[in-house]
Each structure stands twice: as structure tokens, then as C-alpha cells.
Amino acid sequence: MAPKKLKFNSRTIHGGQHPDKAYGAVMPPVYFTSTYAQAKPGEHLGYEYSRSHNPTRTALQASLASIESGNYALAFASGMAAIDTVIKLLQPGDEVISTNDLYGGTYRIFTKVFAAYGITFHFVPMGDIDEVKKHVNANTKLLWVETPTNPLMQIIDIKAMSLIAKANNVLLAVDNTFASPYLQRPLELGADIVMHSATKYLGGHSDVVLGALALNDTALVERLAFIQNSSGSVPGPMDAFLVLRGIKTLHVRMQRHSENGRAVAEYLTSHPDVEKVYWPGFETHPNHEVAKAQMDDFGGMISFVHKDNSLDKAVAIVSALKIFTLAESLGGVESLAGHPASMTHASIPKEIREKTGVTDGLIRLSVGIEDSEDLISDLAQALG
Ligand SMILES: *Cc1c(COP(=O)(O)O)cnc(C)c1O
């Protein structure tokens, strides 16, 4: 096993990994098996049934824990399955405080699934710390943070949220999908649980759907693992292998995503027909100081609005792009463009969407790791 103290750029490759015990395979074998032989009833090598454990998944979980600076990680069938498991820690009557600028699928499972089980969700602008405090009461059990937020790239102060959580004996969970642990490690900032859609930057190649939780507390990981094993929301071994392979290049990809993100954000800001660019790396970004304090760089997620700010114009621009592919999702090596109002955020009612700034004219970019000059030329022709 690699030494624990390795720097991040080595932990992506070596964190929690060791050659396979059987033949010394450097990459963990993909253990396509549902069950494991027992010498006598109950006498086995730590594996009984693959809903509970699988060696390929174990290898991925060790890597996830290492890169998030956690003691433990659990891998799930999807990011949503990971969120589902966290909310199942709660009881009817419990309350959750979350951001008002939230991944559409998270908003949907909160309001359309778990609200029916008697759990109350408050969606507040979490950049305003007093607004969060105002909603805390004796029933509050969880703060659910996403930062940078999707799609408006607001930055929420994780340390400030952890102080509120600790003072009120409430759990703090952070969806770290947009940043990835290369840019931000919430457990180091006081979060109790980090959640990932590994479908995005961790996998990094748009070829797998998988989710993850990372955390430090032993009693909490046991409860989460119990819920997961009871519900069965586990990834298959091939998916675990693909994400583990993706993580090995996370640091190299994220460095380029961040460089290209800056180049594209600066280009868009200089374009006369672009009204607004949302990217936390700008000094003019309202939460730039918090971003600088809690992130190591600013990544490749950018949203922008053309000066027409209309549905027709946004549709025309995203349809004219040739290198950026019009598609849901983000975080792959290839650049993607999306139209949140009709795609990722269509499940949020229009009045609520528009109030937070997710207008019909908003376009979201996941800037990939191609040559930034090609990406800028593509945007130039689509805007022209
Ligand atoms: C994609 C995404 C999710 C959901 O993850 P899946 O792997 O698609 O289930 C949750 N949060 C954020 C921020 C996401 O981008």
C-alpha cells in the first residue's frame, strides 16, 4: 500500500492501491462474480455476495477515500443513488436546508420523492449565512451544499456552513461533483459527507454512470453502508474499474480543464454580444474571495448569457456549435454545451428557475481538454 502522506497528484494514482494478491496485476482485476466460495459456513476471505462487497469496488472505494482525504468511501450505482442513501438517514419530521441553485435531479428527488415521506426541504440562497441560520430549528438534521452551484457557479462557503452545522449538531453534506477533489476537498473544510457524481470529472470520459460518498466517521459509514446494502444501489465491477482508471488522470485533466476554462471565460467576457459570464475565477465574481480560499483553481464549468437573453438565441447558439457537443452531463475530456432551462433543469418550475437566474437564455459549457484555440473559434462562429 502506498504511504498515506502522498501529495494529491500521487494519490490519484496510488491512493489505497496495491498490486493484486493473486498474480500481482497492477490494475485491479474486474471481478465479475456475484458470490464467493466459503470453506465452511461463514469462513471466507472477506467477500460473501457482491451486493455487499466486490474487490474491484473495494479498490475504487480506497482510491475515492484517499483523493477526498477521508477515512472511508462508498461507491454507488449513480450520483442519485448516493444522494438517495444520504437522505434515507433521515426520519419523517426531519428538515433539510439546501441551496436554491441546485442540480435538477437533486431538487427532483428532494421535492418529488422524499417530501412524500414527511421530510421538509428548504431551498435558500446559501451565500447568505444569516438566511441559512434563520432556517435552522430543532428538526434540522442536514445541510446539503453544492458548490460551485449548477448552473450559476455561485460559491458557498463550506467552512462557514460547517460552523453552523457543528453548532447545531447537524450533518453537513457537500456535492463536490463540479469541483472534483483536485480543486476542493470539503472534508478538510469541515464537511461530514462528500458526495460525487463520478459520472462527471472522476470518470472523466463520459463512458460510465457511478456515484460516491466519502467521509471520516466510522459510525456514519456503517449506517450508510447498511442502507446501501439494504437498498442494493451498488455499481457493477466494470463501472468501478472505469472510474478507478479515470481517477488516475484526474489531476492532469483538471489542470487542463482549468486552463481552458480561464481562456474560454476570458474570451466570452471580451465578446461584445455576451452580456454575462458566470465563472468563479473572475475577481468580479461575487464570491471570488471564498472561491480563492477554498478552491485550488477554478475549473472548466462556465455559464453565459447572450445580450438577447432569449430562448431562440440560446437555441441558435448551442445548435451552431461544432466542437462543443450539445448534450447533458459534464466533466468529460470533450467539451459539451447545454441549455439548462430545457435540459438539466427542466424539472424545476419556470418561476423558481427564473427567480434564481436560470433564464431561458442561459447556456452552460463544460470546457474539455481540447486545444483552447479550437474551442474559442467554435464559440466565435456560433456567436457570430
Ligand atoms: C450529474 C450530477 C448529479 C447526479 O449524478 P448521476 O451520476 O447522474 O446520478 C448530482 N449532482 C451534480 C452536481 C451533478 O452534476
pLDDT in tens, 116-145: 999 999 999 999 999 999 999 999 999 999
Flag whether 368 is in a domain.
yes
Question: 187 and 110, same structural domain?
Answer: yes
What's the pLDDT at 189? 98
Q: How far apart are CA 293 and CA 291, in angstroms?
A: 5
Ligand 1 neighbourhood includes 206 CB (under 6 angstroms): no
What's the pLDDT at 350? 86
Q: Which CATH number does the domain housing residue 336 bear?
A: 3.90.1150.10
Question: 111 and 85, same structural domain?
Answer: yes
Question: 330 and 240, same structural domain?
Answer: no
Q: What is the pLDDT of residues 60-80, one digit of tens each?
A: 999 999 999 999 999 999 999
Mean pLDDT of 150-177: 96
Q: How far apart are CA 107 and CA 110, in angstroms?
A: 5
Ligand 1 neighbourhood includes 211 CB (under 6 angstroms): yes
Ligand 1 neighbourhood includes 146 CB (under 6 angstroms): yes
Flag whether 187 is in a domain.
yes
Question: 282 and 141, same structural domain?
Answer: no
What's the pLDDT at 2? 53
Lowest model confidence (mean pLDDT) among 86-90, 245-249, 309-313 = 309-313
What percent of the chain shows pLDDT beyond 70?
A: 99
Domain end call among 247, 264, 289: 247
User: Has residue 57 got a pLDDT over 80?
Assistant: yes
Flag whether 77 is in a domain.
yes
Ligand 1 pocket test target in 80, 146, 206, 207 with most atoms within 8 Å of CB: 80
Flag whether 2 is in a domain.
no
User: Has residue 213 got a pLDDT over 90?
Assistant: yes
User: Has residue 3 got a pLDDT over 70?
Assistant: no
Question: 144 and 276, same structural domain?
Answer: no
Those residues with Cβ within 8 angstroms of residue 169's Cβ, 6 or more apart along the chain or in another chain: none
Consecutive H or E run containing 11: helix 8-14
Mean pLDDT estimate for the chain: 95
- Full residue range of the structural domain in which residue 274 is found: 250-383
Flag whether 262 is in a domain.
yes
The answer to whether the CB of 191 falls within 8 A of the CB of 216 is no
- For the annotated catalytic residues, the residue numbers are 51, 103, 175, 200
Mean pLDDT of 252-258: 98
User: How sure is the predictor about 101, in pLDDT bands with cuts at 50, 70 and 90?
Assistant: confident
More confident residue, 73 or 353: 73
Those residues with Cβ within 8 angstroms of residue 112's Cβ, 6 or more apart along the chain or in another chain: 347
User: How sure is the predictor about 4, in pLDDT bands with cuts at 50, 70 and 90?
Assistant: low
Nearest CA to ligand 1 atom 4: 79
Other C-beta atoms within 10 Å of 118: how many?
11
What's the pLDDT at 345? 79
The count of domains in the chain is 2
Question: 261 and 231, same structural domain?
Answer: no
What's the pLDDT at 259? 98
User: Has residue 286 got a pLDDT over 80?
Assistant: yes
User: How sure is the predictor about 354, in pLDDT bands with cuts at 50, 70 and 90?
Assistant: confident
Q: Which CATH number does the domain housing residue 137 bear?
A: 3.40.640.10
Q: Give just the sign of the alpha carbon dihedral 152, 157, 158, 162.
A: negative
Question: 289 and 185, same structural domain?
Answer: no
Ligand 1 neighbourhood includes 260 CB (under 6 angstroms): no
Ligand 1 neighbourhood includes 209 CB (under 6 angstroms): yes
What's the pLDDT at 56? 97
Question: 162 and 16, same structural domain?
Answer: yes
Question: 263 and 242, same structural domain?
Answer: no
Mean pLDDT of 364-370: 98
Place of cell 465563472: 279
Nearest to 382 by CA among 300, 296, 308, 317: 317
**CA 80 to centroid of ligand 1, rounded, Å:** 6
